[in-house]
Structure 1
Amino acid sequence: MIELSKAADLTAAEVGGKARMLGLAIRQGFSVPAGVVLLPGEPPDSVELERLLGPGPFAVRSSAPDEDGSDESQAGRYDTRLDVRTTGLAAVVDELGRIPLIVQALVAAKTAGVAFSLDPLTGDDSTCVIESVPGRGNALTDGEVTPATLRASLLTGRLRGSLAGSGLGQDEATAVIELVRAVAGWLGYPCDLEWAFDDERLWLLQARPVTAARWQPLPGQWTSANFRETMPGLVTPLSASITLGRVFPQALTEFLRDIGLEVPGRPVVEGRRCYGHAYWRVDEFKKTLLQLPGYIERSFDEGLGLVPGYHGQGERWSPAPATIRRVPKIVLAVWRQHRRILREAMAYQAGDAGRDRRWLAVAWADLADPELRTEFHGALRLHERTYRQSLRVSFMAEQLQELLRALLEQVGGRLDEPPRELLLMDGLGPLATGAAGRALEELAGQAADMAEEVLAAAETEALPDGLGTGLAALSQEFGYLADGDDELARPRWDEDPGTVLLLLKAAVRAAQAGPRAVPPEHARSRAEEERRVLRAAGPWTPVLRGVLGAAREYSRTREVLRVSATRANRILRRACLGLGGRWAELDLLDAPDDVFWLTLDEVLRALDDDLEGGDFKARVRMRREHARCFRNWEPPSALGAMPVRPSPVRGRTLTGIACSAGVAEGPVRILRSVAEIGDFEAGGILVVQSVNPGWAPAYLAASGLVTEQGGLLSHGSILARERSLPAVIAVGGVLERLRDGQLVRVDGTEGTVTVLS
C-alpha cells in the first residue's frame, strides 16, 4: 500500500491519474480525506489500513492511468464503492483491482456536490458553478437527483443569486467558492471538482480538468488567429485594451471603408481577452468581405490559419447584378489605396531611427507629473500611429493575396500542373523581421573556434573576449524584440540578455552541424514559375502580373512595418513602466509592472487625476489571480458558432497547411517558449504553437517547422520561406499528438507531418 500523500512522487502510469492528483492536492495543503493506493493485484492489509485510516467505513475509488487527464477526464467510466467495511474490502478490491485503487476514509457528508471553475454550458470564464445536494454527492454524480445550482464570480468570489435550496449557508457557500478558486489557481486550467461538508470541515474529494464545455462565452464567432503569434499565452488587460480593444478594430474598419466596402457605423470587429488570451470576432468581418470580388471563405480562413468547419469553399462573392455594379468602384479604390498605403508606410518607416533616439532617451523616473502625463500620451499616440500603419499594410497584403489566389484559380485550368502560389511568393529577399537571425548567424560564425566555451557560458559576461561585446551590441541593436512583442508586459531583448545568449547557443549548434541543404523544391526558379503561369494567363496577363508584383511588394513591406510596430511596442512599454513606477512610489501599485493589469481606460482616468472606482492594488491582485487559473492551459483557437476540428489524421500522418516547400526528417523538439531554445539540437524538427519575429533565430538550428496555429501570411510563415525551411502550419492539436524525440517527416509541399517512430 502507498499512502495517498506519497502518490504525488509517482507517475499516473504507476498509481493512476486520480491518485496522483489527490496526492499533489494534499501536498498543496488542501483537505483531502486520508487514503492509500492499492496497486493492481495487491490485497488490502486490513490491520495497516485501520491503523492509517481508522475502522471505516471506506470509499473505494478507481484510479486508472488515463483518469482525470487533460485530454479526457474519463468521469463516470470507472467504479466507486461507498460504505465499504473492513470485512468486505477484499471482495471489492478483488472485483475492481485490475487498475490502481484508492481507499479513503468515508466522509460523513451532510452536504456534497460538484463545482466548475467556468460555466460548462457557455464556457464563461468569469463564472464558477456549484451544484449541491443533501448528504453524499454520489447521487448527483450518478445523475439520480437534480441538484441546486449556484453561480459566483470567479474574479471576486461574490455569489450571484440566492442560496435557497442549496443546503449551504453563506459561510459554507463562500468556502466552496474559495476552494474552486484556489484549486483552479493551483492547477492553472479550468477544472471541476467534487467536494463534501461533514460536521467539521470542507473536503476536496476529486479534482480534474474540464475537457468538455460549450465554448461559446460570447455572441458570434471569435478566433485567436494572428494574435496567438504576437500575443502568445496570457495577455494583460492593458495590452489587450490598447491593441485588441482600440487600435485593431479602428484600423480595420477604416481600411475597409477606404477600399470602397459598405461598412456599418460601428467597427466590424471587436477584440477582447477570454481565458486570459487574445481573441477577436470574425463573423461580421467575413460578412463585410463578401462584397470583395473573388472572396472565398476557405481561402480567407486558410490564410489566417483557421480550420474550416464546413465542406467545400464556404461562402464566396456572388456575381449578382447588385454586386457587379460595385466592382469597378471597389477595384479602383483598392488600387488607389494600394499605392497610397505603400507610399505612406515606407515614408513612416524611414523615421524609425529618429523616433527611437527621441523616445529611448526619455528618463521616465525623472519627469515631473505633468511631463510624465504628456509624454505617456505622446508614446500612446506614437504606438497607435505606428500600429495603424503596420495593420493597413497587413490588411492590404492579405487582400492582394486573396486576389492573387482568385486569379491563379482562373489560370489553373489552362496548365498541366496547378500554379505554385508559394513558389510565386518565394524569394522576397532578406526580410526585415529576419535581420536578428542573420546577425546571430554571423556572430555564431565568428565563434566557430570557441564553440565549446560559448555553449558552456551561463551568462553573457562569461563569453570569450570580443564575443560578449558583439552579443551585447546585437542585444541593443535588436533590443525591441521579445517573445510575443505585442504583449507589453514581456521583457525586450535589451532587458533580457539571457534569452539572446540562448539564441546564440542555438545558432552555434547550427553552425557546428554545417549548412542545411536547400530542398530541391526551392531550387526551381521563381522566375521560371512566373513565366509559366503568365504564358497561360491570356487576357488576364497584365492584371495577374500587376497583382503578383503588388502582393510580393506588400509581403516585403509588411515585415518592414512589423519591425516599426515592434519598436513602438518597446517605447510604449517603457512609458507604461515609467507610469507604473511613479504609481508604485505613490503606493497606488505594489510594483511598476502592475500597471499592465489595469485597462487603458483606467490608466487614462488616473492620469486625469480621477482615481475613483476602487483600489488599484486590489484590482490588480484580482486580475492576476484570475489569469493564474488559465496559465497552464491552451484554450480553443475558435469560440462560438465556428466549429473547431482537429487536423485530420491518416494513419500516422497529421495534416495541416503547406507553408514552405521541401521535406525534412528529424526528431521532434516541442518548444513552448523561446527560453527553451538553449538546448535545441541542430537538425531537429521545431514544433511550436506559433512563431513571432522574436522566435526567428530558432530557425537557424531547425531542419523543419511545424506549428499548431498560424496562416500563410503570418510573419513566422514568411520567415520560414525566406530560409527555405520545410514547414507545415495550422496542424491542430500537434503539441499533444507529438512527443519529444519522435522521428517525423515534415512535407512542406503537401502539408503533412508523418510519424516515423
Structure 2
Amino acid sequence: MYSVRFQKAEESSRSAGAKGMNLIKLTKNGLPVPDGFVIQTNALTRFIEDNRLQAADAHMERAIMNGTFSKELRDELAASFYELRESYASVAVRSSSVSEDLEGASFAGQYETYLNIKTEEEFLGKVKECWASFFSARVSGYKEKMNNDTAEPLMGVVVQGLINSEVSGVIFSRNPVTHDDGELMISASYGLGEAIVSGSVTPDTFIVNKGTFQIDKEIGLKEIYIVSQEEGVTEKETSADMRNRFCLDDENIKELAMLTIKTEELYGYPVDLEFGFAENKLYLLQARPITTIVQDQKAADEEREFIMTPRDQKDFWLNMESNIEGPVSPLFASLIVPALEYGLKESTKTFPVMGIEIERVKLHQGRVFSRQHKTDDKLPAEQLEALFPILADRMYDIIQETFLPFYQKLDELAHTNHTRETALDAFRNLQDFYLKGYEEHFNIVFPQVALNMMLESMYGQIEKENTSLLYEMLAGVMNKSLETDRQLWLLSGQVKDSPELRRVFTVSPADELHQTLLQSNEGKRFLEQVGEFLQEYGWRSVKSHDLLEETWAENPYFALANIQNYVRNGYDFDSEFHKTIEKRKQLYAAFMEKIEDDGFREKFDRYYQWTLSSSVIKDDHHFYIDAMLDAKARLCLLKIGELLEKQGVIDDREDMWYLYSDEVEKALASPVPMQEKAAERKQLFQQYQLLEAPAYLGTPTPEQLQAAEQITGSITEDEKNTEHHIYGLAASSGIASGPVKVIRDASEFSLFSSGDVLVCKMTTPLWTSLFQDAKAVITDTGGILSHAAIIAREYGLPAVLGTRAATDRLNDGDIVSVDGTNGKITIVKRASC
C-alpha cells in the first residue's frame, strides 16, 4: 500500500513523514483537520526502482522529474486523489520528509508546497516535484549542517483537501520572542496561509495570555493576500479597509487560543500551528514542534552569560531605555553589555553618588537591563569638591588622551583589506576598548551627576517646587550638539544667499538633493563643504547606540535634510540661542534675590558656576564617546564583514550585526557558514522591535523604585492620570498647545510639521532637528537630564517627560495643551471628534 487516509493510518508510522504523522495524530484526536491522505515513503522507493535510478546520482532532481509512474503506482495514487476530490474542489500537495519538523531539526521551508491542484496530471507532477525536492542542493546542505546523514530517500507526500481560507496564519504556543510559556503568539492575515509562511506580508500579531485570555494586539500592513483561481493561486492587493482593521476579532482569537492549548496538551511540548478560517469555521492545517525557540533559549542559558535567563527575571531589573534606545543587535549587545557592566561597576565604586552600586547588566528581548543595590558608601565632600572646578577640562583631557588616538586607529582599519589574522586582532582590540571606553565614560559622567545633585539639593532649600527652572538656569551654554546644529544653520545661510542653491533646496525632495547638487559646479562646491562638516560632525548614527544604521559620515542625506529644514522654516539659530542665554541670566538673578543668607548665597553661586561650566559634559561626552565610538566602530567592522562575506560565512557584510562576538571570533579563526543563523537572528530582532518593553522586571520594593527613578525618571504611569489628563516630569517650563504628532523612529521625521507637538518614546541627538519646528515635547521615558529635557530647554519648548503612557494614550491630530511648568498634559480635543 502506497497511500493511506489520515483516519486509517497509524500515528507512529514514520513512512508517512513528519508532516503526515502530525496530521494523522491531529485527525485521530478529533481536531478540526481537513481530510486527506499520505503518500508513504515506499512510493518514492518504488518509483526509483521502477526508473532504475541511483539515489546518490548528482542529477537526481532532474531524473525524478523525467521518470514515469508504473501502472500499479499511478492507479493507486490516482484513486486516492479522486476519492478526496469528491469532498473538496481542489487539494494541496506538500512534501513530508521523515527528517522534517522532528525535535532538534526543523526542516520547515526546505521542501515544497503546491496549492489548488485539480487534475490528475497536475497532481502526479507535483508529487514528483515533492520527491525531487528531497535531493535538492539546499536540502542536502541543510541535512549536512544538521548532521543528518539519512541516505535512504525517506520522503512522504501529504495530499490534503484545500480550504479556501478567508483568514489564515500561524500560532506559537510559547511566545517565540519572550520564551514565555504563559503566552501564545498568533500571526494572521487574509487569504491562504502561504503569504505569511513565505514572509510576503506583515501580518497582524496577537499575544494571548493562556490563563486569562487577555489579548495584546499589533496591527500589520497585510499588503497582499493569496487566493485560489481557476488554475493555481494568485496574489491580490488588500484594500485600505482590510489593511486598517484587524483580520481576527476577539472571539476568533479566543477560539484559536483554546485550540492551541488543547494541541499543546496533546503533544506535551510547545508547538506551532497553521490555521485557516473558511465560512466562519476554524481548521487546523498543521502542527509541529517548536525547535528554534528551544535552541535559542539554550544559547541564552548556557553560552552567553550576558543574556538574561528565566531565573534572572525573578529579580528586579531596570530597563536602561533612557540611555539605550530599543532592542540592540546581537553584535552590539556583545560589545555594549559587558562594557556597561564593567564601566558602571568600576565607577559606582569610585563615585557612589546616588547610593547605588550596579551588580549586573544583561540583555532581555534585545533590551539592556541593569540590576543594582543600595549602598551606604559616600565619597568625602572635599574629594568631590577638588574635581568640580575642572570637570569639563578633565573630560576633554580624557578624550584627547584615550579616545581620539584609538579613533585614528579605527579610521585606518576602516580602509584595511584584512587577512583573518589582522581582522581577528582588530576585532579583539575593539572589544577591549569598549571596556576601557565605558570605564572612562562613567568616570566622566558620575562626578557631574554628583555635582548636579548637590546643586539641586541647595536649590530645593529655597525653591520647593519646579526643579526644571534650575536646569533652565543652566541652559544656553554651547555644546557639541548645539554646535552641530549651528554649523548646519550656517550652511543653510549659504544656501539662502545663492539663488541656484536656494532653488534646489526649495523644490527638491530631501532624498534627491545629493544627486541634484552634483549636476552643477556650485552644487559640487557646496557638497565639498558639507563633506568637511561631516568629517568633523558626522560621527553619529541614525539609531544611537548600535551598529545597524548608516552614520551621517557615510551618507550626506541626513545633513542635507537638516539644512533643507533650516532653509524652509526660517529658524534663526543665533537669535534663539541668545534668547536662551538671556532667559538663563534672568532666572538666575531672580533666584539669587530670594536667598537671604549671604553665606548660603556665596556657596550656591560657587556650585552654580561649577555646574554651569560642566553642563557641556552631557552632550559633549555623548558626541565624543557614545556616538563617535559606535560610528567609528561600525566602519571598522564593515571591513571585517567584507572578509566574512568573502569567506562564505555570511551573505552580506552587514549580516555580521546578527552574530554574537564569540561567533565572529570563531568564524575569523576558522570560517564556517552562518547565513541561516544570521537570518534567524535578524527575524528575531525584527520581532523584538514590535514588542513593548517593560520599564522593569521583577517585583521591586518602594525603595528600589524610588532609587531607580533617580536614575531614569518615572518608570510607572502616574496615578493621577485621567481620561483627559496625563502627568509626567516637568522638564522645561511654559505652556503651549497644538496637534499631536507621534514619531516612533527617524523614518517618520518627514511626517512632522511645524507647529506639531512632538510625542515620542525618547529622543537622541539625531532628533534635534524636530525641536526647531515643535510647539512642545512629550515623551514616555526620560528624566530631568535626558537629551529631550536638555534640548527642549535650549530651544525654549515646554516639555513633559517620563509619562510612560503618551505614545499609547495620544493619537495623531489630538489637540493637547502641554504645561511644562507643572508636568501636566491636557487633551483638549480628540482627532476623531
2:621 is matched with 561
In the alignment, the residues of structure 2 paired with residue 541 and residue 498 of structure 1 have an alpha-carbon distance, to the nearest angstrom, of: 50
1:445 aligns with 2:611: no
Summarize the alignment of residues 16-165 of structure 1 with structure 2, pairs less than 5 Å apart: 23-24=189-190, 26=192, 29=195, 70=217, 114=258, 131-132=261-262
The residue that corresponds to 2:804 in the other structure is 732
**Higher-RCO chain (CA-CA 8 Å, sequence separation at least 6):** 1
Partner residue in 2 for 1:461? 515
| Pairing 1:5–2:166 present | yes
- Give the 3 Å change call, closer, same or farther, for CA 469–685 of structure 1 in structure 2: farther
1:752: Cα distance to partner? 1.8
Cross-structure match for 1:639: 697
Residue type of the alignment partner of 2:681: R
Range 715-724 or range 368-377, more displaced: 368-377
What is the match of residue 382 of structure 2? Answer: 332
- Shift, 1:451, TM fit: 5.3
Q: Which residue is equivalent to 1:486?
A: 545
Instruction: Select between 234-243 and 497-506 the one with higher mean Cα deviation.
Output: 497-506
Distance 1:505 1:453 in 2: 9
C-alpha distance in structure 2 between counterparts of 1:113 and 1:663, whole Å: 47
State the alpha-carbon separation in 2 of the partners of residues 6 and 131 from structure 1: 20
Counterpart CA distance in 1 for 2:473 and 2:545 is: 26
Between the aligned partners of 2:433 and 2:336, the Cα distance in structure 1 is: 13
Asked whether the equivalents of residues 383 and 572 of structure 1 are also in contact (C-alpha less than 8 Å), the reply is: no
1:731 offset after TM fit, Å?
1.7
Could you tell me which residue of structure 2 aligns to residue 253 of structure 1?
A: 345
Given that residues 778 and 800 in structure 2 are in contact (C-alpha distance below 8 angstroms), is that contact kept between their aligned partners in structure 1?
yes
Distance 2:247 2:732 in 1: 50
1:520, distance to aligned residue in structure 2 (A): 12
Instruction: State the percentage of identical aligned residues.
Output: 19
Structure 2 residue 325 is matched with structure 1 residue 232: yes
Number of aligned pairs?
Answer: 554
- Partners of 2:811 and 2:478 in 1: how far apart? 33
Hey, what's the Cα distance between the residues in 2 that align with 1:179 and 1:234? Answer: 28
Distance, in Å, in 2 between the alignment partners of 1:373 and 1:7 is 47
Residues 337 and 369 of structure 1: CA distance in aligned 2, closer, same or farther (over 3 Å) = farther
Counterpart among 267, 275, 282 of residue 168 in structure 1: 267
The answer to whether the Cα contact below 8 Å between 1:685 and 1:704 also exists between their aligned partners in 2 is: yes
TM-score (norm 1): 0.64
Matched, 1:369 2:535: no
What is the DSSP-based 3-state SS (H/G/I as helix, E as strand, rest coil) of the residue aligned with 1:270? strand
Closer/same/farther in 2, CA of residues 640 and 427 from structure 1, 3 Å limit: same
Tell me the equivalent position of 2:564.
Answer: 505
Alignment of 1:668-683 (within 5 A): 668-683=740-755
State the 1:631 CA deviation: 2.3
How far apart are residue 443 of structure 1 and its match? 2.6
Does the 8 Å contact 1:506/1:679 carry over to 2? no
What CA distance in whole angstroms lies between the structure 1 residues aligned with 2:549 and 2:491?
25
Contact (CA 8 Å) 2:318, 2:369: kept in 1 or not?
yes
Q: 1:659 maps to which residue? A: 731
TM-score between the two structures when normalised by the length of structure 2: 0.58
Query: Following TM superposition, by how much is the alpha carbon of 1:5 offset from its aligned partner in structure 2, in angstroms?
Result: 3.3
Counterpart in 2 of 1:586?
A: 647
1:627 counterpart letter in structure 2: F
Q: Which amino acid aligns with 2:515?
A: E
Q: Does 1:549 align with 2:609?
A: yes
State the match for 2:632 in structure 1. Answer: 571
Q: Distance in 1 between matches of 2:246 and 2:653?
A: 49
Q: Does 1:598 align with 2:659?
A: yes
CA distance, structure 1, for counterparts of residue 738 and residue 193 of structure 2: 40
Give 3-state SS (helix, strand or coil) of 1:167's partner.
helix
Indicate the residue corresponding to 1:407 in structure 2.
Answer: 458
Secondary structure at 1:756 match in 2:
strand
> Is residue 420–residue 529 contact of structure 1 (8 Å, CA) maintained in 2?
no
Question: How far, CA to CA, are the matches of 1:521 and 1:748 in structure 2?
Answer: 19
The one of 481, 485, 493 equivalent to 1:433 is: 481
What is residue 60 of structure 1 aligned with on the other side? none
Per the TM alignment, residue 454 of structure 1 is displaced from its structure 2 partner at its CA by: 1.7
- CA drift at 1:363: 4.7
Aligned partner of 2:190: which letter? L
1:274 corresponding residue in structure 2:
364
Distance 1:581 1:228, change over 3 A: farther
Question: For 1:447 and 1:705, how far apart are their aligned partners in 2?
Answer: 29
Taking the aligned partners of 1:101 and 1:248, their CA distance within structure 2 comes to 43
**Paired position in structure 1 for 2:182:** none
Q: Offset at 1:447?
A: 3.2
Contact 2:728 2:824 in 1 (8 A): yes
Distance 1:256 1:201, change over 3 A: closer
CA distance in 2, matches of 1:748, 1:443: 32
Check 1:418–1:391 CA distance in 2 against 1; reply closer, same or farther (3 A cut).
closer
Shift of 1:528: 0.2
Identify if the C-alpha distance between structure 1 residues 572 and 720 changes in structure 2 by more than 3 Å, giving closer, same or farther.
Answer: same
The Cα shift of 1:655 comes to 1.1
Provide the C-alpha distance between the structure 2 equivalents of 1:553 and 1:384, rounded to a whole number of angstroms: 28
Which residue identity is paired with 2:749? I
CA displacement at 1:703 relative to structure 2: 2.3
Q: Is the 8 A contact 2:743 2:760 kept in 1?
A: yes
| Structure 2: runs of 5 or more not aligned | 1-163, 170-185, 198-213, 220-244, 289-309, 706-714
Q: CA deviation at 1:668?
A: 1.6
Q: Deviations over 1:665-691 (max 9, x none)?
A: 222222111232224222221211111
Q: 1:738 to 1:519 in 2, by over 3 A?
A: farther
Per-residue displacement from partner, 1:62-115 (whole Å, max 9, x unpaired)?
A: xxxxx966399xxxxxxxxxxxxxxxxxxxxxxxxxx99999xx9xxxx98548
Q: Is the 8 A contact 2:799 2:820 kept in 1?
A: yes
- Separation in 1, partners of 2:354, 2:527: 56
Please tell me the residue identity of whatever aligns with 2:804: G
**C-alpha deviation, 1:637, in angstroms:** 2.2
Give SS of 1:544's match: helix
Instruction: Mark the runs of 5 or more structure 1 residues left unpaired by the alignment.
Output: 9-19, 32-66, 73-98, 116-129, 134-149, 151-165, 183-193, 204-214, 293-328
Sort the Cα spacing of 1:440 and 1:741 in 2 relative to 1 into closer, same or farther, 3 A.
Answer: farther
In structure 1, the partner of 2:397 is 347
**Aligned partner of residue 393 in structure 1, secondary structure:** helix
**Structure 1 628/468 Cα, relative in aligned 2: closer, same or farther at 3 Å?**
same
For the Cα contact (< 8 Å) 1:444–1:511, is it kept in 2?
no
Determine the structure 1 residue equivalent to 2:140: none
Partner of 2:335: 242
Distance (Å, rounded) in 2 between the aligned partners of 1:484 and 1:100: 30
Paired letter, 1:249: E
- 2:679 pairs with 1:621: yes
Change (3 A) 1:6 1:468: farther
Cα distance change of structure 1 residues 493 and 179 upon mapping to structure 2, 3 Å threshold: farther
SS in 1 for 2:540: coil
Give 1:218's aligned amino acid.
Answer: Q
1:30-84 CA-to-partner distances (Å, cap 9, x unmatched) read 69xxxxxxxxxxxxxxxxxxxxxxxxxxxxxxxxxxx966399xxxxxxxxxxxx
Q: Structure 2: how far apart are the matches of 1:520 and 1:572?
A: 36
Q: 2:128: which partner in 1?
A: none
Q: Which residue of 2 aligns with 1:121?
A: none
SS in 1 for 2:762: coil
Distance in 1, matches of 2:540 and 2:468, equals 33
Contact 1:666 1:745 in 2 (8 A): yes
1:439 alignment partner, SS class = helix
* Residues 101 and 740 (structure 1), Cα distance of their counterparts in 2 relative to 1, 3 Å cut: closer
CA RMSD of aligned residues (A): 4.3
SS at structure 1 position matched to 2:800: strand
